[in-house]
Amino acid sequence: MERRKFVKSVGLAAAAACVSPKVFGNDLIQGKSSKIEGVPAPVFPALPFEYNALEPHIDARTMEIHYDKHHRGYHTKFMNAIKESALEGMAISEIFASVSKQPDVVRNNGGGYYNHLFFWKNLGKGSTGPSPELSTAITKEFGSFDKFKDAFGTKAKTQFGSGWAWLYLTKDKKLTVGSTPNQDNPLMDVSQLKGIPLLTIDVWEHAYYLNYQNKRADYVDAFWNVVNWDEVEKRYQQAIA
Ligand code: MN
């Protein structure tokens, strides 16, 4: 099957398989506007762009392996882990809220499934930057947009070993940056960071090694060229509502 048709059919199947998620906090987490916090679909979700869409900042070969091997692997293992268990049919946000009670296979693969789904959505080209409202909120919290980029970038560059950096909104609606090890994220009860994720970057070596080798900092700096601010904005508006 030609890739475009394949992407479309997978996308439709994923949409059809997505059932209404259960209650957790607010509209965003309930998944009314964003399906990614909803019930995990048994069909592996489509990548929202072509492999080469983020060139030269993220190369096509990296994207292909990252999506089709790494992300697919997490999805398959996670679906197998929750199949015919009490977790089947639960929203991913609900599973994460008590993930400390689950075996590591759920924490690691559930995180890997969700974090990558989230990451793809906040990537894209052609976005000019945050809206005036989000921009004002970022400036208020961090001093300036550049200082925010420095703060987020530093979390990404200094996360020891594999993990993720995040911009997230805490329960008291404070914009905050931080990083999580392995496949943890701010929705997990085991995480030191807790809140609603707005933006993330994957800093596992598999996310950049083909193109950047050991130069994680260069990858993190290039990331700003491919942030889909429309998605960040959408999540921010839902999170503060
Ligand atoms: Mn990854």
Question: What predicted TM-score, i.e. pTM, was given to this entire model?
Answer: 0.87
Distance 66 CA to ligand 1 centre (A): 6
Distance 9 CA to ligand 1 centre (A): 24
Annotation: CATH topology of 59-241: minor pseudopilin epsh fold (3.55.40)
Distance 132 CA to ligand 1 centre (A): 31
Distance 207 CA to ligand 1 centre (A): 5
Is the pLDDT at 44 greater than 80? The verdict is yes
Distance 24 CA to ligand 1 centre (A): 26
Distance 183 CA to ligand 1 centre (A): 9
Mean of the per-residue pLDDT values of the chain: 88
Distance 140 CA to ligand 1 centre (A): 31
202 vs 16, 32, 124, 159, 199, CA distance in Å? 28, 25, 15, 10, 10
Among the listed residues 204, 198, 195, 191, the one whose alpha carbon sits nearest the alpha carbon of residue 163: 204
- CA gap 232, 67 in Å, rounded: 21
Condensed to tens digits (0 to 9), the pLDDT of residues 133-162 reads 999 999 999 999 999 999 999 999 999 999
pLDDT of residue 67: 98
Report the pLDDT averaged over residues 99-110. Answer: 98
Each domain of the chain, given as residue ranges in start order, spans 59-241
Distance 68 CA to ligand 1 centre (A): 11
What percent of the chain is modeled with pLDDT above 70? 85
Distance 133 CA to ligand 1 centre (A): 30
pLDDT of residue 177: 98
Condensed to tens digits (0 to 9), the pLDDT of residues 73-87 reads 999 999 999 999 999
Among the listed residues 37, 58, 47, the one whose alpha carbon sits nearest the alpha carbon of residue 7: 47
Condensed to tens digits (0 to 9), the pLDDT of residues 154-196 reads 999 999 999 999 999 999 999 999 999 999 999 999 999 999 9
